[in-house]
């Protein structure tokens, strides 16, 4: 017979496991207490007893996975810095200290398991303010240690430029790790060959390191993109000029009954294909509408940049 303590422990573990799976699937904003109770087969009173709120529950989910992960990361980074002091350390060493513990935990069901990489990818890709605030509040020293290590490995790169590149490269990699199709990507990635964790990580690191070490844009590259922007702006201006002007704040004018009758007769006599084309055009969403859907998960760094860049 189970004791009251073991029963309470089992209930708490089921709640955490259910919350973790839901968070991986739908993110922080999509996870609700009702979904958790249904997945864990518990009542709401049990959730409130153990955690009191969704935020406290989510903190427990993150802490039980990320605390041991970051402890392993820092220990491995210490060992790497001792083996390759100062500027002898390479980007590959820092990348290894960042990802080797994650790969190890993904092979240990008791502390991570097969879904661990997806959890990690979701954590770093989820754009909810709660998750971002939690990461910066609890793991800022870890981020700082790794940033300094990357800076020593790339002394020629200004720190501001390094931060920009790390944000794009690592977040893009996190989005891949969090995707549902990761299991399908790996066989294609390895091309049916047996690869060690070190080989897989070397392949992934090569792409990240290449992004970090990429040269700054040359004048020829900037000139080519400026030319494309100019063409795009001219096209946009031409499209805007063809649009009928509407007084600001005014509703579109309604045609009179007689004026509306003539277009109606033309519509009835037009071909079905023309009607379908007109329906497709009029159903297009208006850019900038308040009902515009947010970008889908996984988050893309380019999407983040476009949402935050200043609009002219």
| DSSP label of 289 | -
Q: Please state the domain count of the chain.
A: 2
Which domain does 26 fall in, by range? 1-52
Q: Which tens digits make up the pLDDT trace of 49-60?
A: 999 999 999 999
Q: Does 244 or 116 have the greater pLDDT score?
A: 116
Alpha-carbon separation of residue 274 from 89, 260, 261, 268 (angstroms): 65, 18, 18, 11
Residue 130: give its domain's CATH number: 1.10.357.10
Q: What is the pLDDT of residue 140?
A: 87
| 56, 128 Cβ separation under 8 angstroms | no
Q: What is the pLDDT of residue 287?
A: 38
Picking from 10, 29, 52, the residue at the C-terminal end of a domain is 52
Let me know whether 77 and 46 are in one domain: no
- With cut-offs at 50, 70 and 90, classify the pLDDT of residue 13: very high
Q: Please indicate, yes or no, whether residues 42 and 83 belong to a single structural domain of this protein.
A: no
Give the model confidence (pLDDT) of 246-293 as tens digits. 666 655 555 444 444 444 444 444 444 444 444 433 333 333 333 333
Residues 18 and 156 in one domain: no
Would you say 78 and 146 are in contact if contact means Cβ atoms under 8 Å apart? no
Same domain, 72 and 179: yes
Of 203, 97, 215, 202, the C-alpha closest to 150 is 97
Residue-level pLDDT at 55? 94
Contact 55, 130 (CB under 8 A): yes
Q: Are residues 6 and 112 in the same domain?
A: no
The reported pLDDT for the residue numbered 2 is 45
pLDDT tens digits for 195-209?
A: 677 777 787 788 888
Asked whether residue 40 is assigned to any structural domain, the reply reads yes
Dihedral-angle region of residue 285 (phi above 0 means left; psi in -120 to 50 means alpha; beta otherwise): beta
pLDDT tens per residue, range 87-145: 999 999 999 999 899 888 888 888 878 788 889 888 888 889 999 899 888 888 899 99
> Does a structural domain hold residue 249?
no
**184 pLDDT above the threshold of 60:** no
Percent residues over pLDDT 70 in the chain:
70
Asked if 78 and 177 sit in the same domain, the reply is: yes
Examine the fold and report which residue of 15, 31, 52 is the final residue of a domain before the chain moves on.
Answer: 52
Residues 168, 78 share a domain:
yes
Residue 71 falls inside a structural domain: yes
pLDDT above 90: percentage of residues in the chain: 42
Q: Are 174 and 182 in contact (CB under 8 A)?
A: no
Distance of CA 139 to the CA centre of its chain: 18
pLDDT, mean over the chain? 77
pLDDT band at 310; cut points 50, 70, 90? very low
Classify residue 270: in a domain, yes or no. no
Q: Examine the domain organization and report whether 69 and 177 are in the same domain.
A: yes
Same domain? 16 vs 80: no
CA-CA distance, 73 to 90, in Å (whole number)?
A: 16
- pLDDT attached to residue 148: 95
Is 102 domain-assigned? yes
Q: Tokens at residue 49, please? A: 């007893």
């Amino acid at each position: 017979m189970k004791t009251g303590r073991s029963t309470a422990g089992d209930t708490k573990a089921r709640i955490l496991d259910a919350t973790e799976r839901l968070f991986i699937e739908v993110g922080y904003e999509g996870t609700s207490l009702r979904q958790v109770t249904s997945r864990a087969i518990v009542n709401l009173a049990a959730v409130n007893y153990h955690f009191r709120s969704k935020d406290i529950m989510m903190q427990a989910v993150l802490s039980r996975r990320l605390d041991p992960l970051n402890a392993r990361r820092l220990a491995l980074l210490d060992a790497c810095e001792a083996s390759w002091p100062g500027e002898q350390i390479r980007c590959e060493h820092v990348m290894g200290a960042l990802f080797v513990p994650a790969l190890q935990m993904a092979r240990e069901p008791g502390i991570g398991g097969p879904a661990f990489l997806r959890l990690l990818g979701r954590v770093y890709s989820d754009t909810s303010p709660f998750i971002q605030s939690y990461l910066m509040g609890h793991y800022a020293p870890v981020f700082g240690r790794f940033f300094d290590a990357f800076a020593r490995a790339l002394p020629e790169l200004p720190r501001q430029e390094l931060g920009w590149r790390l944000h794009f490269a690592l977040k893009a990699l996190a989005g891949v790790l969090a995707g549902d199709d990761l299991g399908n990507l790996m066989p294609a990635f390895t091309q049916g060959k047996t690869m060690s964790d070190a080989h897989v990580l070397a392949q992934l690191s090569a792409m990240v390191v290449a992004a970090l070490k990429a040269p700054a844009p040359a004048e020829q590259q900037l000139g080519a993109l400026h030319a494309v922007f100019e063409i795009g702006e001219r096209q946009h201006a031409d499209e805007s000029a063809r649009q009928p002007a509407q007084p600001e704040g005014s509703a579109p004018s309604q045609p009179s009954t007689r004026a509306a009758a003539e277009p109606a007769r033309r519509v009835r006599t037009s071909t079905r294909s023309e009607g379908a084309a007109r329906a497709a055009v009029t159903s297009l969403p208006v850019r900038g509408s308040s009902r515009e859907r947010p970008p889908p998960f996984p988050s893309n760094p380019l999407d983040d940049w476009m949402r935050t860049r200043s609009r002219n």
